[in-house]
Structure 1
Amino acid sequence: MSAAPRRRLACRLCTRRKVKCDKQIPCNNCMKRGTPAVCERDEPDDLNAQSTLPTAQHQIEDTSAVNVLRNRVAELEAALQQQNEEGVASKSQTPTTGQAARNAVVQVQSSSPSQGSEIEDAVTVLEFLAWGRMKDPERAMLSPEALRVSEHEEGVGIRPSEELDHALDLDISLHAWLQILLPSKRQIHNLVEYHNNCMLWFHGSYFAPTLSQELDSFYADHRGKFDSNGVTLQWIALLFSVMAGTITSAPAHEARKWGFDESEARLLSQKWYKAVIVSLNSAIFMADHSLHAVQAITTLTNTAHMLGHSNAQSVMLASAVRIAQSLGLHRLDEDARGTDIELESGRRAWQELCTQDWFSTSFSESYSINPLHSTSVAPKNCDDDMNVLTESEPTITSFCRFLAKIAAIMPALQDAMALSNTLYTKHEAVLVHDKKMRSLATGRPSFLANTAFDESWPCYIPWARRAIAMSSAHKIIMIHRKFLGLGFTNPVFAFTRRTCLAASKTILKEYLASSRDESSPMLWTHQAFSVAACIIICFDMLHSSSTSQDESQLVDETIGHLQSCRQKSMIAARGVKVLHALQKQINNRLESRKRSSNAARGDNPRKRRRGFDAVEFARSFSDAQNRPTLLPESITDHQTPPEDLEPVSQRIDGNPQAFDVEEPLNIPADLNWLWSMPLDDEDGTQTFDSLLSFANQGLGL
């Protein structure tokens, strides 16, 4: 039995539109829509007809609705025309009609294809101006003045060239404090010249002739005074960054020739690093964008890592990336405007930012610079006179140009890993990029390979050879990093274990060769790579049934050299601490094996432990942190060296100053995270991965 149809109180149009109706005839909705004539209810007969003839009914309703809409459009067009003629909106016009008219205008304007791009450009430029930024779509902006228009007009912000009385003490201005940190004119020229000749090849952040000219002008035009009108704080930061890089990395005998003994050099390295940071912050570099700030930050990388400021440097580099993008350094293609030196300077700084960012991908599992969003071409293989040379001839940019090609592999690998959902597909992605890395390494220029040395080559070519060999081997490890822990326990990933072990041995051999070269500057990457390589070899020994004497000797020699660098490098200081703990664990396992082999086997032999007990190691390593650190008493007044490392500490007991007497840099003593950290499996592959990150924390290359 079917129920009788229910009488509908809502009108037909409200029912079809599924909106609430006041159930009056005509209803309020129809009155607002201007269709009171068609406002009616469905009668029972209509409902029956609608159930039997739905198509015809809908056609009638649609026709009626179309007619109503056409009439409404005609009314709106008439109202719009009347507005244009009178110049003012009619007072009798309802708000609904006025809003509809404005919508009609927008629809007419947006329908013109020729005006779409112009409107979009205008909106973008206005939006940037509203943010206090300036966007010029016609040319790449190298000059920092392009972003200063609004500040000059509105008087917003503090100019670097103005007098800045950011006092560090009540009676001492910033310029006065910076001035007393300067050595003599001759010493400054020695420091800058050494950096240009012996260290610029490593990072390529600035154009050497430009800095030399600016330094000459600083003394000729400004009498060597920081408070002189025209000397900007961001340029001062670049100068201190270059000097800090030299005094931190130059061999001790070179520094003595310039008049700096070892204790003063260590103190000045800290103070000059601080001068860079204070100068940039006082110049409000994050708002007042300048190429000098980008160059100062990228040049500071080696110093920051060696002095233990890796975390701060990673943030500074991220800021430099944004500043460089606002200056248009990522858009320096072949058609970019500017002088050759301007373009070359911008491209070199941008290439270094890309290299640092992409090499950090293996640690942060992300990257800030998308290669697809950068159109800048690589710096030229040219000399200081801008003469372009062939790829087979070494220049100051050769090392960085090749290193950037290696760095470009890392974001591609990160994307491939993120798109893979199984260990198999992730491992396949690793193998693909491993092959790309090997192809690049074998195809490097001849002067970076083991060919006969040409006396006409620059002095840094032997150092660049070792650096590129170590970096290439380290990148192989970083490509396989996700499978390193599994490589020690799962035979499916034995290739990763063999590959990383071979790469680690290559790194240590090159590092020891570098340590025997007294003319070579100290580079933070060498120590960071060697620590990572030692950790891999130690874990291989802990997971092997027998210990290789050659591998053990290789690690011992490396630790010995790292110990000699601890006074100048926090990377070495951290690394020695981790490696000593691993060596102690290795010795304990060797003694345990000897006792087991000498003991008589009983009816119930002790169950053999599979692999390396990472939990036990984590506990012992964490407990060791409750004891004093490796640093001498003069650095951490409340601590003394641990007993098992006493011979090591005696090497630096005679030196009262290491790093900075005013702001000591302590090795983190709280490493309980190693003990409380969850492990991936009983062999502690997660612990291995964390140790590797700890030894290289905050490091990208």
Structure 2
Amino acid sequence: MSEGRTVSRPTQSCFQCRNRKIKCNRSHPCAACLLRGEGDTCHEVEKIIARAIGPGVTVEAVDEVLSKVVALEQSVSKLSKMISKNGPVEDSSETESMHHLGPQKRVLSSPPPAGSKIQATRPEQKASMMLADQLAMGNRMNGRRNSMQSEAERAISSSPVDPPIPLPSSSKFPPNANGISHDHPLSLLVRPATSIVFQILSHLPDETDSRSLIRFYFDRIEWYTRILHYPTFSYDAKILTRQISDSASSASSGSTAATHFSLPFLSTYFMVLCLAYHFIEFDMCKVLDNTFEDAAKMSKKMYNAAQLCLWIDNYLENHSLEGVQTLILMGIYQQNLGDSDSHWALLGSAIKIAQILGVDRLGTESDRKSYPGPWKSVVRREVGRRVWWNLIHNEWSNAATHNGAYTIVPSQNNTGLPLNVNDIDLEDDLDPIEPAPHTEYTEMTYSLMRFRFVEIHRQIMDSVENHPTGFRPSFITEIDSRVLTMLKDLPAAFQAPGVSTGERSSLSFKGVKSIEYTISLITAEAMRMRLHRPFLFRGYTEERYGPSKQQCVASAKAILKYLKYDIGQTTVLLRRWSVMFFGFTAAIVLLVDYCQQKGAGALQDSRKELQSALNMFKMVQVSSNAAQSFIPLLESMVAAAERNLTSNTSNKHSGGHHDVWSEIAKEAFVSSHPYLDLLNYWTS
């Protein structure tokens, strides 16, 4: 075809010069690109190809599509040979063959929607549909990942030994050795030559303090999520420390050697330090020679540094598991500061990024599947499952305050629960990993317990949406029975090895195990209280709802009792927003019960219980934003209750039952506007 042409096409400007709108000498690589040190990325703009596909299409996009087409043609060719050799492929074989195309393509093996006229049963038809859909939607990350997996498959097929598989490109806007690229959005505010990464690193605590804070985080804080693998994190942290040291040495000697830091890990590293400062305890303050005020300032600084690392890496386009871990840890910090709206918005981004990475399709280790790309590591798969179930827990547990809306639908969740193993027993060399029985305590026991609890919470929440006036009696009986069963299993799950099951006092509880056990008990009682709460008020006037009223009050008293069981762990627990919310809700139930009391003795006892709860919350008022929000609200409601009860007693013309709670709610709604959503949620 080229031999028949009589007129040659004029040489076009390169893409880089065209994008910058500067003059190009139209040699490749051109002079401008050579001066910028970007000669390897200098390509002529192919107008004919771009016009044939559509407007705004770059050469990089065309190359990506062509590489994807080549990979798909090879897969189709392999399948065709199998068909010609072995005959027609059954559905199960077809599904297995499609499995090797990567997690994004396995979705195509599912049956079409009911009523669909398209029967995409042939592999090549599925591949072409996938290619068209991804090209139309601009799924660049999927394309890069699929291309990477296809290259890995070709290498595996030609070698008896599994080779190392590279990860996807870390960034569309890769930072320079000392700063950001010319194409980065932050280049509008910061000169690309500025050593922005090193400026961020300069805010890190010294090496000794950093090591102490990391140890403190994994000893006293990580139990709350368990999304990090301690041996892997420690190894990566040592590499980071060495890189920082080498960079400092190079700078002092005048060397221009480039140091490339992993920004996703660096963001996670900063968030670990952030939460260590945020939840710091007195003994740790002494080690660091800090006050709680100093720690709060450092916590905010570490949080800002983590945010900067994400934005420098352009995390919304360049996805990584470490980036999702960072977003989860940032959510804990945001929620604890009372910024639940930012937490909810960031959680949505984390869920979508995790789905793009395929974290929602990791199955279970017992499936014995073969995994492509970075998921070949059993440690990374298991960390991925922990991350995914933390996202599930965060979304389902917070959905009630957002009209019961959540995006992770159980029927679309194809990732099993994490294994019941300690981090030290989780190694790539141990395949398969043998988990401990559910009755044996490990570092994952509490996490697995709360994942099971949140499934029940979601069912309660769904039932609230379907039956706003109250649950069906059969539903209450079923859920209550399940929660009671879990409560009975708790002592066995948290017992020390070799200790017989019995009362809590006979078990060996130390450190975080005691905290985990206590919060599990509180979660179970809070769930029972939530289940019976729709009938609380009616329980005071209608005999058939009496048991629900009694259960609400009993669960509320149990929650406050567990919180007061150990003063040392009380302060640790109440500094977390979710635990403070459980305590606040229990206090509200007791306040309702206080308003319904008639005798002077009962009123006095109820008032003492409320004052005891307030005194307990005030223990953490200085260091807990949640306590600072809830305490004034609860105090104003108690004061309103006393005024209304006094008025009701002295008013001889009240004429029947005076709804004290309605008056309290009205006063609270007027005086506490920032907490309307919280109060509306409770009274729903």
Normalising by structure 1, report the TM-score.
0.65
Q: 2:526·2:582 contact (CA, 8 Å) conserved in 1? A: yes
Structure 2 counterpart of 1:607, from 641, 650, 655: 655
Distance 1:272-1:114 versus aligned 2 partners, 3 A rule = closer
Deviation of residue 265 (structure 1)?
0.8
CA distance in 2 between partners of 1:266 and 1:114 (Å): 57
| Counterpart residue type for residue 538 of structure 1 | L
User: Is 1:370 equivalent to 2:409 in the alignment?
Assistant: yes
Distance 1:301-1:161 versus aligned 2 partners, 3 A rule = farther
CA distance in 2 between partners of 1:207 and 1:261 (Å): 30
CA distance in 1 between partners of 2:284 and 2:303 (Å): 20
The CA deviation string for residues 58-77 of structure 1, in whole angstroms up to 9 with x for no partner, is xxxxxxxxxxxxxxxxxxxx
CA distance in 2 between partners of 1:192 and 1:551 (Å): 44
Partner of 2:459: 412
Partner of 2:482: 436
Partner of 2:239: 217
Partner of 1:232: 262
CA distance in 1 between partners of 2:571 and 2:524 (Å): 23
Residues 104-253 of structure 1 correspond to what in structure 2 (within 5 A)?
116-129=122-135, 130-134=138-142, 148=169, 156-158=172-174, 163-164=179-180, 166=186, 174-223=196-245, 229-253=259-283
Deviation of residue 445 (structure 1)?
5.0
Deviation of residue 555 (structure 1)?
2.3
Partner of 2:555: 503
Distance 1:591-1:295 versus aligned 2 partners, 3 A rule = same
Distance 1:554-1:209 versus aligned 2 partners, 3 A rule = farther
User: Is 1:578 equivalent to 2:638 in the alignment?
Assistant: no
Deviation of residue 160 (structure 1)?
9.5
Deviation of residue 578 (structure 1)?
1.3
Please say which structure displays the higher CA radius of gyration: 1
Partner of 1:383: 422
| Counterpart residue type for residue 592 of structure 1 | S
- Percent of aligned pairs with the same amino acid: 17
CA distance in 2 between partners of 1:161 and 1:429 (Å): 60
Deviation of residue 443 (structure 1)?
2.2
Partner of 2:352: 322
The CA deviation string for residues 247-289 of structure 1, in whole angstroms up to 9 with x for no partner, is 1113123222222212101211222223223322332212111
Partner of 1:562: 617
Q: 1:238·1:292 contact (CA, 8 Å) conserved in 2? A: yes
Local SS of the residue matching 2:504: coil
Structure 2 counterpart of 1:398, from 436, 445, 458: 445
The CA deviation string for residues 43-66 of structure 1, in whole angstroms up to 9 with x for no partner, is xxxxxxxxxxxxxxxxxxxxxxxx
Deviation of residue 111 (structure 1)?
11
CA distance in 2 between partners of 1:617 and 1:270 (Å): 37
Residues 483-562 of structure 1 correspond to what in structure 2 (within 5 A)?
483-484=535-536, 491-517=543-569, 520=572, 522-546=575-599, 547-562=602-617
User: Is 1:260 equivalent to 2:290 in the alignment?
Assistant: yes
Partner of 1:269: 299
Local SS of the residue matching 2:180: coil
Local SS of the residue matching 1:391: coil
Partner of 1:468: 520
Local SS of the residue matching 2:423: coil
Q: 1:504·1:534 contact (CA, 8 Å) conserved in 2? A: yes
Point out the structure with the larger helix share.
2
Distance 1:362-1:131 versus aligned 2 partners, 3 A rule = same
Q: 1:134·1:146 contact (CA, 8 Å) conserved in 2? A: no
Deviation of residue 302 (structure 1)?
3.2
Local SS of the residue matching 1:285: coil
Q: 1:159·1:283 contact (CA, 8 Å) conserved in 2? A: yes
Residues 72-87 of structure 1 correspond to what in structure 2 (within 5 A)?
none
User: Is 1:587 equivalent to 2:637 in the alignment?
Assistant: no
Deviation of residue 292 (structure 1)?
0.6
CA distance in 2 between partners of 1:138 and 1:485 (Å): 61
Normalising by structure 2, report the TM-score.
0.67
Structure 2 counterpart of 1:353, from 384, 391, 394: 391
| Counterpart residue type for residue 306 of structure 1 | N
CA distance in 2 between partners of 1:224 and 1:511 (Å): 48
Distance 1:181-1:384 versus aligned 2 partners, 3 A rule = same
Deviation of residue 174 (structure 1)?
4.1
Deviation of residue 185 (structure 1)?
0.6
Q: Which stretch of the first structure deviates more once superposed, 313-322 or 175-184?
A: 175-184
The CA deviation string for residues 287-306 of structure 1, in whole angstroms up to 9 with x for no partner, is 11110111112223432222
Local SS of the residue matching 2:384: helix
Q: 1:178·1:275 contact (CA, 8 Å) conserved in 2? A: yes
Distance 1:446-1:134 versus aligned 2 partners, 3 A rule = same
Deviation of residue 534 (structure 1)?
0.8
Residues 52-71 of structure 1 correspond to what in structure 2 (within 5 A)?
none
Residues 85-104 of structure 1 correspond to what in structure 2 (within 5 A)?
none
| Counterpart residue type for residue 407 of structure 1 | V
Distance 1:223-1:581 versus aligned 2 partners, 3 A rule = same
Distance 1:224-1:212 versus aligned 2 partners, 3 A rule = farther
Distance 1:174-1:575 versus aligned 2 partners, 3 A rule = farther
CA distance in 1 between partners of 2:120 and 2:611 (Å): 72
| Counterpart residue type for residue 597 of structure 2 | S
The CA deviation string for residues 159-193 of structure 1, in whole angstroms up to 9 with x for no partner, is 69883384898687643542232111111111111
CA distance in 2 between partners of 1:133 and 1:259 (Å): 46
User: Is 1:621 equivalent to 2:668 in the alignment?
Assistant: yes
Q: 1:134·1:147 contact (CA, 8 Å) conserved in 2? A: no
Distance 1:181-1:451 versus aligned 2 partners, 3 A rule = same
Distance 1:112-1:467 versus aligned 2 partners, 3 A rule = closer
| Counterpart residue type for residue 387 of structure 2 | A
What are structure 2's unaligned runs of at least 5 residues?
1-115, 153-163, 252-257, 427-434, 496-502
Structure 1 counterpart of 2:336, from 286, 291, 306: 306
- For the aligned residues, what is the CA RMSD? 3.7
Q: 1:208·1:384 contact (CA, 8 Å) conserved in 2? A: yes
Deviation of residue 359 (structure 1)?
1.5
Deviation of residue 576 (structure 1)?
0.5
Deviation of residue 477 (structure 1)?
2.7
Q: 1:247·1:265 contact (CA, 8 Å) conserved in 2? A: yes
Local SS of the residue matching 2:218: helix
**Which protein has greater RCO, CA pairs closer than 8 Å, 6+ apart?**
1
Local SS of the residue matching 1:381: coil
Deviation of residue 573 (structure 1)?
1.1
Deviation of residue 236 (structure 1)?
1.7
Partner of 1:341: 379
CA distance in 1 between partners of 2:449 and 2:221 (Å): 16
Q: Which stretch of the first structure deviates more once superposed, 428-437 or 398-407?
A: 428-437
The CA deviation string for residues 8-38 of structure 1, in whole angstroms up to 9 with x for no partner, is xxxxxxxxxxxxxxxxxxxxxxxxxxxxxxx
Distance 1:346-1:690 versus aligned 2 partners, 3 A rule = closer
| Counterpart residue type for residue 347 of structure 1 | R
